[in-house]
Structure 1
Amino acid sequence: MSTDPQRFEILLVPEHVEGRDAASLAKSAIRSAVVEATGRRGSSGYPRYAGEGLVADIDPETRTVEALLVDGSELDYGLSARVVDPAER
């Protein structure tokens, strides 16, 4: 049985936004989506999460997005993906 988190929220923010506080990141986000574990691993080797048009491979220990598709395309230049626990907001 996996102990990986089953749900994350991904916030897409401009690259210049700093910090890790979920509330302040949410204020700067141009898009957010709650993604849920698919039970599969992505090509990066990390667990795959999907939801609301986003598909991401996320390292659950560091909360680093290792791969991301937004509506089937790569993330636009100038944007950064940040991972937060949906309960933190």
Structure 2
Amino acid sequence: MNTQPQRFGILVLPETVEAHDTATLTRNAIRSAVVDATGEQGASGYPRYVGDGVEADIDPETRAVEALLVDGAELSLGLVARVVDASEV
């Protein structure tokens, strides 16, 4: 039985956003996406999640984004990605 989350929300934010609460993060996001598990491992070795133009390898235990493409490209300097519950996007 697979116990890892099947869906996450991803927020792309300017790295200057220092908030920790999801509501503030969501308001400051320049892009958001809901990504679903593909059942595959990404190049990083972590589960691959895809949706809304975003492909991400996410460590489901720590919610760390290990690899990320937005519309097929890496994030520009000055941007960061945060993982939240899909229902919060």
TM-score (norm 2): 0.95
Aligned counterpart, 1:15: 15
- After TM superposition, give the deviation of residue 88 of structure 1 in Å: 3.9
Aligned counterpart, 2:40: 40
Instruction: Deviation per CA, 1:13-41: give whole Å up to 9, x if none.
Output: 00011133111100100000000000000
Aligned counterpart, 1:81: 81
- After TM superposition, give the deviation of residue 11 of structure 1 in Å: 0.2
Partner SS state of residue 13, structure 1: strand
Aligned counterpart, 2:28: 28
- After TM superposition, give the deviation of residue 69 of structure 1 in Å: 0.4
Aligned partner letter, 2:19: G
Instruction: Deviation per CA, 1:45-78: give whole Å up to 9, x if none.
Output: 1000000000000001111000000101111111
Alpha-carbon separation, structure 1, partners of 2:51 and 2:69: 11
TM-score (norm 1): 0.95
- After TM superposition, give the deviation of residue 43 of structure 1 in Å: 0.8
Which segments of 5 or more consecutive residues in structure 2 lack a partner in the other structure? none
Q: What is the identity percentage for the equivalent residue pairs of Structure 1 and Structure 2?
A: 67
Shift in CA distance, 88/70, structure 1 to aligned 2, threshold 3 Å: closer
How many residue pairs get matched?
89
Which segments of 5 or more consecutive residues in structure 1 lack a partner in the other structure? none
Cα-Cα RMSD: 1.0
